[in-house]
Amino acid sequence: MLIERHIRDAFGLIHPSQFLSVQKLALEAQKMVLDPKISRLTPRKIFQASLALNGAYALFLDDLFEGASEFAVPYRSAGNFTLSEKLWKHWQERAKNLSPGDEYRLVDEFADMLGLRGWYEWQPDLGHHESTAEPLKEGTTNSALLKEKQPAAVFYFLDVFKRFETMTLEEVRNVSLEIAILGRNGLDYASPDEKYELRSLPDRKFSGLHLMCLMFAGFKRIAPEHDVGMNLHDSFLAALSLFGKQ
């Protein structure tokens, strides 16, 4: 919102290009947020927050371009639009006198309104950093390492199957999507250290490979047609066979 407002105010010559740019983003957001399949797969709290935020942004764009668009219309009947309007009105009040750094407080205020304040934390910027070495190639791209980990993966899958026996489909969905979000920056499955925590499973910590097995088995349950990009099929099938004999 801050960036688009600044562009709109400072660069009059590119107004048409800016409109086409935000139009594309707004329509992509509508397609994703209003897709029934996405709503089924996404935990309700996250989906409702996303719906409210995208609705508020649509209201902002409609106002920014002085009624030339109607991006907010689909959100009016999609549910949670009242919260979108509250976010938009809050932005209107706060945006009048924002100083450098106030955008962080505005994020916190939005998070309070959405019930997400405890879902993130600000990290200090320690300044300039120089890379002194090439980062190690870890993750599912290392097929040889993953193959070496197959016996351990079988063990983890057995634990996953036992967990899932007592969990609802919604709980499995929450676990799987939380790991998918956590894994966007990569999961260290080279180490057996249990260093990852999940809000959806707060009873213990997990290793990177254990999380991968949880997500793999979870998506087999909630979206079997979806390829999670992990070559754990052999370990999954071996564990499934062993589990059936228990």
Domain boundaries, the chain: 2-119, 143-245
Q: Which of 107, 60, 54 is nearest to 78 (CA)?
A: 54
Q: How confident is the model at residue 21 (pLDDT cuts 50, 70, 90)?
A: very high
Going by C-alpha positions, the residue among 104, 103, 188, 101 that lies closest to residue 138 is 188
Whole-prediction pTM value?
Answer: 0.56
Please, what sign has the CA dihedral across residues 142, 147, 148, 154?
Answer: positive
Q: Which residues contact 177 (CB under 8 A, 6 or more apart)?
A: 41, 42, 43, 46
What separation in angstroms does the CA of 99 have from each of 4, 95, 96, 104, 117?
A: 16, 9, 10, 10, 22
Q: Can you tell me whether residue 206 is helix, strand or coil?
A: strand
Q: pLDDT tens digits, residue range 29-64?
A: 888 878 887 777 778 888 899 999 999 999 999 999
Tokens, residue 143: 């097929």
Cα–Cα distances (Å) from 237 to 28, 107, 175, 205, 210, in that order, read 37, 44, 21, 25, 16
pLDDT tens digits along 161-194: 999 999 999 999 999 989 988 887 788 888 889 9
In degrees and rounded to multiples of 5, residue 153 shows phi and psi of -65, -40
